[in-house]
């Protein structure tokens, strides 16, 4: 994996991430394809709207369809038929959210499958091993994503464990090799809840291990947007300039713009896809809830300035009808639009960095986006 910063404007960065499966322009939003499919949108449609990278999830894919089949198929790219870049989350977040079904120990985490109750163990080493078998272009370390709120003592111990696990992941990464002829990168994950000193301790330790990139995890879990931005500001100065930075699980369009302005390059979130399936559309002028009766006879497109398939062919009234009568195509068209909008937003942010007017552009965009932002909050 190669990463290059092409331009900066303040903290904001415009870059280029190159993997064995193509070039990804940053800042970038990565659609979430947990189980090997981004919900309600076909791969060719993702390519059509310019998605260069999607996510998969190690926990989900390990359980279904299982690593063995994916290996037989020649890796996740082959199995799912996606030719561009894939990043796989380690599954730590999913395992830890199982609560009563898991036990954390130094060696790793023992958990029961949410599907059939079968018992499994993830260790830092096995999680890297599984991702080798998946063959994702970017792999993530196994981390504990601490709950929120989280007392200092728990956060501190959890953070130390995550750092030790990161080191073991790195060791396993160095001992093992890619299986499918393309290189794989490994990203570390900064934790530390909302404690500035723990965040600093986390990022310093991880940077010492020289990962290919750095994710910031444990945010957008219930804290305020202000606290999230503060954690970014605390972490960013310690991150090496030349490596990509990935803010995990974030967020709203406003969150993305604020985070790009604080030096983040990569994002993933279920918000555009999940909200789309709930009839919420993101637009340049805030959000639309298509179920609202005010759109009943509205024959204008969701976003008149958007050039996606949905906005250039269909009206709010038609989309509303599709949702009310529960037609699957409604989910498809809403997903196409929302992801198009997120990708467009990141392209615009990138262009603004190149033109050295990121802050001006961001303020202007925020003033359009914010009126309805509250309804779309992750929190």
Residue ranges in contact with a second copy by CB under 8 A: 35-44, 60, 64-65, 69, 72-73, 79-81, 296-297, 299, 309, 313-315, 317-318, 321-322, 324-325, 327-333
CB of 101 to a second copy, least distance (A): 19
Q: Which is nearer to a second copy, 159 or 332 (CB)?
A: 332
- Of 35 and 97, the one with the shorter C-beta distance to a second copy is 35
- Shortest distance (Å) from residue 322 CB to a second copy: 6
Whole-number minimum distance, CB 286 to a second copy, in Å? 24
Q: How far is the CB of 198 from a second copy (least distance, A)?
A: 36
Name the DSSP class of 378: -
Smallest distance, a second copy to C-beta of residue 278, A: 13
Return the H-helix or E-strand segment holding 57: strand 53-57
CB 256 within 8 A of CB 29: yes
Q: Which is nearer to a second copy, 296 or 363 (CB)?
A: 296
Give pairs for 272-275: CB < 8 Å, separation 24+.
272/29, 272/31, 272/335, 272/338, 272/339, 272/341, 272/342, 273/31, 273/32, 273/38, 273/39, 273/40, 273/41, 273/335, 273/338, 273/339, 274/39, 275/338, 275/376
Query: Shortest distance, CB of residue 74 to a second copy, whole angstroms?
Result: 9
Residue with Cβ nearer a second copy (206 or 334): 334
Alpha carbon 191 to its chain's center = 16
Given the residues 9, 89, 143, 212, the one annotated as active site: 89
Please state, in angstroms and as integers, the Cα–Cα distance from residue 134 to each residue in 38, 47, 55, 131, 175, following that order: 17, 21, 12, 5, 17
Nearest residue to 255 via CA among 217, 282, 215, 220: 220
Catalytic residue, chosen from 9, 137, 143, 268, is: 268
Question: Is residue 111 within 8 Å of residue 101, measured between CB atoms?
Answer: yes
Report d(CA 7, CA 9) in Å as an integer.
7
Residue 84 DSSP code: S
Q: What are phi and psi of 2, to 5 degrees?
A: -115, 145
The encoded tokens of residue 11 equal 């903290």
* Nearer residue to a second copy within complex by CB, 70 or 216: 70
Q: Is 89 a catalytic residue?
A: yes
Residue 313, Cβ density class (10 Å: 0-12 exposed, 13-18 middle, ≥19 buried): exposed
- Note whether 280 and 288 are within 8 A (CB): yes
CA distances from 323 to 44, 232, 295 (A): 24, 38, 12
- Cβ atoms of 76 and 138 within 8 Å: the answer is no
Least distance from a second copy to the Cβ atom of residue 52, Å: 18
Pick the closer one to a second copy by CB: 42 or 151: 42
| Residue placing its CB nearer to a second copy in the complex, 74 or 240 | 74
Does 268 participate in catalysis according to the annotation?
yes
Token duo for residue 229:
């931005």
**Catalytic residue numbers?**
89, 268
């Amino acid at each position: 994996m190669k990463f290059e910063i092409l331009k900066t404007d303040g903290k904001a960065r415009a870059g280029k991430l190159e993997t064995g499966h193509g070039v990804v322009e940053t800042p970038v939003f990565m659609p979430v394809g947990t189980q090997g499919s981004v919900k309600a949108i076909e791969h060719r449609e993702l390519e059509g709207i310019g998605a260069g990278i999607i996510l998969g999830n190690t926990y989900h894919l390990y359980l279904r369809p299982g690593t063995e089949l994916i290996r037989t198929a020649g890796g996740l790219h082959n199995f799912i038929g996606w030719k561009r870049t894939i990043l796989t989350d380690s599954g730590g977040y999913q395992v830890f959210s199982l609560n009563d079904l898991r036990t954390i120990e130094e060696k790793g985490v023992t958990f029961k499958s949410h599907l059939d109750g079968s018992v499994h163990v993830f260790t830092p080493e096995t999680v890297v091993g599984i991702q080798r078998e998946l063959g994702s272009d970017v792999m993530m370390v196994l981390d504990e994503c601490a709950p929120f709120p989280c007392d200092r003592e728990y956060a501190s111990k959890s953070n130390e464990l995550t750092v030790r696990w990161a080191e073991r992941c790195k060791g396993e990464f160095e001992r093992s090799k890619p299986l499918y002829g393309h290189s794989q990168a490994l990203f570390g994950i900064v934790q530390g809840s909302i404690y500035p000193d723990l965040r600093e301790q986390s990022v310093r330790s991880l940077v010492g291990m020289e990962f290919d990139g750095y994710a910031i995890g444990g945010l957008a879990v219930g804290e305020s947007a202000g606290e999230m931005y503060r954690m970014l500001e605390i972490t960013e100065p310690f991150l090496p300039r030349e490596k990509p930075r990935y803010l995990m699980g974030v967020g709203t369009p406003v969150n993305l713009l604020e985070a790009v302005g604080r030096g983040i390059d990569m994002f993933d979130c279920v918000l555009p896809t999940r909200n789309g399936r709930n009839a919420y559309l993101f637009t340049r002028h805030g959000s639309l809830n298509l179920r609202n009766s005010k759109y009943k006879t509205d024959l204008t497109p969701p976003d008149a300035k958007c050039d996606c398939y949905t906005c250039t062919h269909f009206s709010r009234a038609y989309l509303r009808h599709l949702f009310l009568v529960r037609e699957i195509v409604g989910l498809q068209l809403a997903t196409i639009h929302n992801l198009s909008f997120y990708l467009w937003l990141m392209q615009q942010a990138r262009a603004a960095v190149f033109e050295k007017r990121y802050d001006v552009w961001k303020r202007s965009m925020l003033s359009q986006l914010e009126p309805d932002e509250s309804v779309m909050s992750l929190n």
